[in-house]
Amino acid sequence: NRKYTIAVVPGDGIGVEVMPSALRCLEVASHQFGFTLEFRHFDWASCTYYNKHGSMLPKDWKPLLQACDAILFGAVGDPATVPDHISLWGSILTFRREFDQYINLRPCRLMPGVPSPLAGREPGSIDFITVRENTEGEYSSIGGKIFEGTERETVIQNTVFTRIGVDRVIRYAFEQARGRKAKKLTSATKSNGISITMPYWDERVAEIAKEYPDIEVEKYHIDILCAHFVQRPHTFDVVVGSNLFGDILSDLGPACTGTIGIAPSANLNPTAKGGKGDKEWMPSLFEPVHGSAPDIAGKGTANPVGMIWAAQMMIEHLGEKQAADAMLHAIEKVLGAEKAGGLSNVLTPDMGGKGDTESLGKAVENELANIK
């Protein structure tokens, strides 16, 4: 009997609102495909917890997560009560680092039924993945402030690229490209202006490309790459970028496909050894790309698809390929069945509908229940 233990960390805002839909879809999928999920619910890694306890995490957060096969994460942040760098460094950024989740895989697809802000795009015509470096780069803790309070006040934060860190994400991206139809890799750079770290990134891409003669490689500076994302998103297949560039591109891509509300994200440690319960175990984490969306939190209108799709990536990662395929199919079917442009009772407002979190989540759940 295949049984998986899942840490459920909903976080704040709409993270808490979209999680139940994902859990219900997982329940149905597990029944349909004959595996068992045990959910362990944690209310920490949230600003709600911080405001009560003065810290984002309890002392034993690490063994609690290490007792699980994978982590399902909502979103964290309540900038009105806790500064973002405190809440995020006290949660998701700590998890990524402590568990060495060095790959952040973010698929981007124009789904049937979801209106795109770009004219004349057919469903499926935009279909690429962003492979984002997830543990170093611009997100470093090295730096500081000097001459504070004087007119010479200076702040410095260093970008850190390690050979291991850069090579492993680039190699992973090439492997992804090899497994796809177009066999093409696009590297995001800025080696014209950022003259030490980014030329190093380019060098490593060129060096590793020699191992993959079957893959077409291109590179663009991040500024024009953003323009190309908007003007010809159909030409991308696998896009690899540093931590910051990957972050930006993985909001821009989904925006081109209609909404960031549907975009999922897998924070992977592909070389983690052992399994749950081991002292050294480093579980992977699955979350939507979006944040806690304080502007719509509490309204019940958040799009749950990003969260459901993240749960789909999780069960695929756990080896439940059939169930994962069925979940993605259910998402596509529900979105595709709907008339875009304000007429739908199921699509959420970010997709032009007048549905809500509950109705859309329920529709995907029902679709899954009918599969097989």
According to the binding rule CB under 6 A, does residue 237 interact with ligand IPM? no
Number of H helices, E strands in the chain: 12, 12
List CB contacts of 352: < 8 A, sequence separation 6 or more: 115, 340, 341, 342, 344
Which residues is 104 bridged to in the sheet?
132, 267
Q: Give the residue, chosen from 291, 304, 306, 353, that forms a contact with ligand IPM under the rule CB under 6 A.
A: 291
**Interface residue list for ligand NAD (CB under 6 A):** 14, 75-77, 79, 84, 88, 92, 260-261, 287, 290-296, 302-303, 306, 348, 350
Distance in Å, CB of 87 to ligand NAD, minimum: 7
Q: Which is nearer to Mn ion, 241 or 353 (CB)?
A: 241
Q: State how far the alpha carbon of 324 is from the alpha carbons of 3, 52, 72, 306, 311, in Å.
A: 15, 37, 15, 14, 9
Q: Which does 303 bind (CB under 5 to 8 A by kind): ligand NAD, ligand IPM, Mn ion, none?
A: ligand NAD
Lay out the sheet containing 70-75: strands in order across.
35-41, 2-11, 70-75, 284-288, 264-268, 103-109, 127-133, 238-241, 184-189, 216-221
Joined together, the tokens standing for residue 51 give 């405001």
Q: Looking at 111-119, 239-247, 310-318, 326-334, which segment touches Mn ion (CB under 5 A)?
A: 239-247
According to the binding rule CB under 5 A, does residue 247 interact with Mn ion? yes
Distance in Å, CB of 220 to ligand NAD, minimum: 24
Q: Which does 115 bind (CB under 5 to 8 A by kind): ligand IPM, ligand NAD, Mn ion, none?
A: none
Q: Which does 292 bind (CB under 5 to 8 A by kind): Mn ion, ligand NAD, ligand IPM, none?
A: ligand NAD
Amino acid sitting at position 189: T
How many whole angstroms separate alpha carbon 328 and alpha carbon 333?
9
Q: Which does 315 bind (CB under 5 to 8 A by kind): ligand IPM, Mn ion, ligand NAD, none?
A: none
Rounded to the nearest 10°, the torsion over CA 6, 12, 17, 21 is -20
How many whole angstroms separate alpha carbon 216 and alpha carbon 177?
9
Strands 284-288 and 70-75: parallel
Q: Which does 14 bind (CB under 5 to 8 A by kind): ligand IPM, ligand NAD, Mn ion, none?
A: ligand NAD
Distance in Å, CB of 97 to ligand IPM, minimum: 11
Distance in Å, CB of 84 to Mn ion, minimum: 12
Catalog residues that contact ligand IPM under the rule CB under 6 A.
88, 93, 247, 289, 291
Catalog residues that contact Mn ion under the rule CB under 5 A.
247
